[in-house]
């Protein structure tokens, strides 16, 4: 375990701070239309890539800097400090936070060489095709099938809640390729080109009015066997690697962003509410700030210890619960003013959007199951001790 920052870390932090201060977009990310959001996200991604900040931890041969995860964390901290566009709510979240890391861990050299630089340059948005109607928490229940015909797989079925599907070039797609197989067996993870004939994407409007997620239908879609990651029939194993990134390292920037938002809320509350000190609301704000600090400390600890993947579920669970609590707290701070959507667009919108936090990437109940079974060693669900 390493404690504290090295001289190199300090130098890196200063370099990152200087670049971010000079380079972040002056205008805020639009949040009314998907097309404008995508254009904003692509432009910001390309600006980072062109200046050599495409990714801190990815290998240099794909356009990253090849530095340890602790430096990536510094990058997230400095981004939040500078008020840079959020690392979490943007079109490249799936590509950067779990598709890319999974390809680095599990894909062939050809797949890596093709896809990773495209992600970093901002040329390819990714989405995730795991959940189906009837198979969300119970991912092993998926039914979308792939029939292997020569060097092609013919895919038929449906996915749901597919974030960014409307704009994605590629998808992390989990399908059942072994006829008659059950549960975790006979699944395959394939990189699905979203422009293939037979794919139909239908947006779903969420509670905040956005259409980030969609239903995706596959009608005999032919994809090459060469787009399989990890081998035919090994999809469950690859999906578990992916989920360990989605529930672990992908939560790190969200934790840092959440802490920043809570600080901003406290600054606003101090200015707007003279009787804050000693009030119940003041105490709730102080508690939220303390929880955010504890969460960040947990992130540092996980990185320093290079912990087991299941431990990422601690972060995911605490983060989801804190994020929702902070948004509700903001509504109490703003009071009726929150209805003035021109003046206070961000918090009311986040309040609605943050309902997702305890559902996406595995619900809070599922994270508790993982912590119980895989970290604490409690008996598996449905099994006696």
Ligand X SMILES: Cc1cc2nc3c(=O)[nH]c(=O)nc-3n(C[C@H](O)[C@H](O)[C@H](O)COP(=O)(O)OP(=O)(O)OC[C@H]3O[C@@H](n4cnc5c(N)ncnc54)[C@H](O)[C@@H]3O)c2cc1C
The residue number whose beta carbon is nearest to ligand X equals 136
Q: For ligand X, which is the closer residue by CB, 216 or 298? A: 216
| Nearest distance in Å: CB 70, ligand X | 28
Contacts of 98 (CB under 8 A, 6+ apart): 128, 172, 242, 243, 245, 246, 250
Which member of 34, 83, 136, 198 binds ligand X (CB under 6 A)? 136
Site membership for ligand X, residue 23 (CB under 6 A): no
Indicate whether 362 belongs to the interface with ligand X (CB under 6 A). Answer: yes
Cα–Cα distance measured from residue 368 to residue 362, given in angstroms and rounded to the nearest whole number: 10
Binds ligand X (CB under 6 A): choice among 104, 232, 304, 359: 359
d(CA 185, CA 233): 7
Q: Phi then psi for 219, rounded to 5 degrees?
A: -120, 95
Q: Which is nearer to ligand X, 48 or 162 (CB)?
A: 162
- State the residue for tokens 């062939």: 108
* 375 touches ligand X by CB under 6 A: no
Query: Is 128 an interacting residue with respect to ligand X (CB under 6 A)?
Result: yes
Q: Does 90 bind ligand X (CB under 6 A)?
A: no
Length of the chain: 385
Cα separation, 9 vs 377, whole angstroms:
36
Query: Could you say whether residue 143 binds ligand X (CB under 6 A)?
Result: no
CB 16 within 8 A of CB 78: yes
Q: Does 298 bind ligand X (CB under 6 A)?
A: no
Report in angstroms the alpha-carbon separations of 258 from 8, 290, 294, 323: 27, 12, 12, 6
| CA distances from residue 346 to 208, 264, 334 in whole angstroms, order as listed | 11, 12, 12
Out of 49, 161, 189, 351, which residue is the one contacting ligand X (CB under 6 A)?
A: 161
From its phi and psi, is residue 346 left (phi > 0), alpha (psi between -120 and 50) or beta? alpha
Binding flag, residue 58, ligand X (CB under 6 A): no
Q: Which residues are catalytic?
A: 246
Of residues 192 through 221, those in contact with ligand X by CB under 6 A are 213
Residue 252 contacts ligand X per CB under 6 A? no
Question: Whole-number minimum distance, CB 131 to ligand X, in Å?
Answer: 3
Minimum CB–partner distance for residue 77 and ligand X (Å): 25
Please report, as ranges, the residues that interact with ligand X according to CB under 6 A. 127-131, 136-137, 161-163, 213, 356, 359-360, 362-363, 365-366, 369, 381
């Amino acid at each position: 375990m390493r404690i504290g920052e090295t001289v190199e870390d300090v130098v890196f932090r200063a370099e990152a701070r200087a670049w971010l201060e000079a380079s972040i977009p002056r205008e805020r990310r639009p949040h009314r239309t998907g097309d404008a959001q995508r254009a904003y996200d692509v432009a910001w991604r390309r600006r980072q890539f062109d200046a050599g900040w495409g990714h801190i931890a990815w290998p240099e041969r794909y356009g990253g800097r090849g530095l340890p995860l602790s430096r990536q964390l510094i990058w997230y901290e400095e981004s939040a400090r500078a008020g840079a566009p959020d690392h979490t709510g943007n079109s490249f979240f799936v590509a950067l936070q779990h598709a890319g890391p999974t390809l680095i861990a599990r894909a062939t050299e050809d797949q890596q060489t093709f896809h990773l630089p495209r992600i970093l340059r901002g040329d390819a948005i990714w989405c995730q095709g795991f959940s189906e109607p009837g198979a969300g928490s119970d991912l092993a229940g998926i039914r979308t099938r792939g029939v292997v015909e020569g060097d092609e797989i013919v895919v038929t079925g449906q996915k749901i809640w597919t974030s960014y599907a409307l704009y994605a070039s590629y998808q992390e797609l989990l399908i059942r390729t072994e006829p008659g197989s059950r549960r975790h067996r006979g699944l395959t993870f394939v990189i699905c080109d979203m422009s293939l004939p037979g794919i139909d994407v239908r947006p779903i409007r969420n509670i905040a009015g956005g259409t980030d997620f969609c239903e995706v239908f596959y009608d005999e879609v032919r994809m090459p066997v060469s787009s399989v990651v990890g081998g035919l029939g090994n999809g469950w194993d690859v999906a578990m690697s992916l989920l360990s990134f989605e529930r672990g390292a992908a939560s790190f920037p969200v934790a840092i962003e959440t802490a920043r938002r809570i600080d901003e809320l406290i600054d606003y509350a101090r200015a707007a509410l003279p009787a804050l000190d000693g009030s119940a609301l003041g105490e709730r704000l102080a508690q939220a700030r303390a929880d955010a600090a504890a969460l960040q400390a947990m992130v540092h600890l996980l990185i320093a210890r290079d912990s087991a993947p299941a431990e990422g579920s601690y972060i995911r669970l605490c983060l989801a619960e804190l994020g929702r609590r902070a948004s509700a707290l903001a509504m109490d701070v703003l009071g009726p003013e929150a209805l003035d959507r021109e003046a206070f667009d961000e918090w009311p919108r986040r309040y609605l959007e943050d309902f997702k936090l305890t559902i996406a990437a595995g619900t809070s109940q599922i994270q508790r199951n993982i912590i119980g079974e895989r970290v604490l060693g409690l008996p598996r669900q449905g099994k006696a001790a």
